[in-house]
Structure formats: structure tokens, C-alpha cells
Chains A and B, each alone.
Chain A
Amino acid sequence: MIESFLFYAFAGVAILSALLLVHIRNTARALFLLFVVLFAMAGLYLFALADFIAITQILIYVGGVLILLIFAFMLSNKELLADLQSTSGRFISLPNWQALVLVIAFLSLMVYSYLSWSQQMPQWIAQSEAKGKMILPTDNNIKVLGFKFMTQYVLPFEIISVFLMMTLIGAAHLSRKESNK
């Protein structure tokens, strides 16, 4: 009972603040609303028993990505700030309506297909539910994840490390000053 109440509370906070995020004109406020959305999403991951993912979400997204966004937003010059705040425009403009129609169509399609899909779930979900092979709240997720990263998923792990290094070098290369050319 209290579990589903908390789930609906987190889901409501996430969806409502995301709606406010796309509606609000001030970009700085929108970026701070992204904080709330990401925290609520981390709370939702806990309900799928993914505690390590939730902590990683808070560490990387809230601690890294969002600080990066806010830094880039606030450390850039004043013209960029002025440019940013005047971009949203009227609500009833043509791109807004096109986007709204497209998004509502897409949302209704997705929700309809999910609801009809949930009548006949795939075999492996029903099997793992019947055999009790789901992840349980008493499991030690972090230990198992560490083993999986070093044994079964070691190739994607290495690929993603090389990719991260490429990204670091690329971002540093792109954002350097070009004045000494």
C-alpha cells in the first residue's frame, strides 16, 4: 500500500516537473527543474530494485551532467544568456502545435501498445515470475553487478572505457580556444 503510494508520488513528481520543465521559459529554472526530474527518476529506479543504478544516476547525472550544463550555461557570455531567455516565444506558434500533435499521437500509441502488450507478456517474464527468479529486495545487487562487469560483460565494459576516453579527448579538443591558430 505505502509502496504504491510512494511509486505514484515519485512518478507524479517526475512527470509534473518534466512538464513544467518544457513549459517554463527561463532556461536556468528549467535546468534546476531537471534536478528534480532526475532525483525522482532515481527514486523510480529503486522500485525496480536497482539501487546501484539509482546511486549512479544521482552521482553522474546530478553531480556531473547537470553541473556541466549549469556551468556551461552560466560561464558563457551575457549575449548567450540573453539569447537563451528570449527563445521560447508564444505558446500558440506553429512548431509548438506540430510538436504537440506528434507527441500526443506518439504517447497514445505507446500507452495503447503497452496496455495491450501487458495482456500477453513474453514467456521469460512469466517464467521468472513463476519460478521466483526475479531480483529480490534481499539480494546483494552491487556484488553481483561487480562480478558481471568483470566476467560476462567485460567486453562492453572495456569498449565503454575506450569510448569514454575518446569522448574526453574529443570534448577537450572541441572546447579549446582557437586564438593561437
Chain B
Amino acid sequence: MITLTHFLVVSACIFCIGLYAVLAKRNAIMILVGIELMINAAILNFVAFGKYDKLNYGGQVFALFAIVLAAAAVAVGLALILNVYRHFKTINPEHIHELKD
């Protein structure tokens, strides 16, 4: 029998792997991938709790919204990364510390 705790522990692992990618990677595309992993862990929590909510279906509905938000975030984030690369000639976030032109 698969309980709620199984889902929660798996999503905690995925979330922490995404957090590691965000913190340790020195490459903006991999940081974006880490953010995607964290959003996926959140969606897993949404659907796992939504299983117990037959009246409102809140978990599944907001899981769909979260998927759409993640897709939008990737589209804008990639456009930003390509612009930053054109401007600074690097996508290592540690080298991008100037706001002025």
C-alpha cells in the first residue's frame, strides 16, 4: 500500500536534488533545470494531497496551473539567458555581477 508519506519523501528527495543543482551549478541552463526539478517535486505534492480531495479537486487543478507556470518560466528564462549571453559572453551567474551596461 502506497501512503501519502511515500509521495512526500520522494518529492523531498527530488526537491533537494533540484536545490543542489540551483546552488552548485555554475551554468544558467542547469540552474533552470534545477528549478524545473523543484517545481516537479511541488507538483508531486499537489497531486498526492489532491488524491484525498474529491470535492474540490484542488490538488489536480493547481498541479495543472503549476505546470503551465513552469513552462512560462522556462520560456522567459531561456530568452533572458540568451540575452545575457549576448551581452556578457558568459552564462556563469558568478561572473554576472554588474547591472550597468
Contact = CB atoms under 8 A, between A and B. Distances in A.
B23 A99 contact: yes
Contact of B57 (A7, A68, A145, A164): A145
A53 B64 contact: yes
Interface in A2-53: 3-4, 7, 11, 14-15, 18-19, 21-22, 27, 30-31, 34, 37-38, 41, 44-45, 47-50, 52-53
Nearest to A165: B72
A110 B12 contact: yes
B4 A125 contact: yes
Contact of A167 (B7, B17, B72, B82): B72
Given A41-B44, A64-B71, A72 B82 contact: yes
Given A30-B33, A50-B47, A15 B13 contact: yes
Contacts of B79: 170-171, 174-175
A52 B60 contact: yes
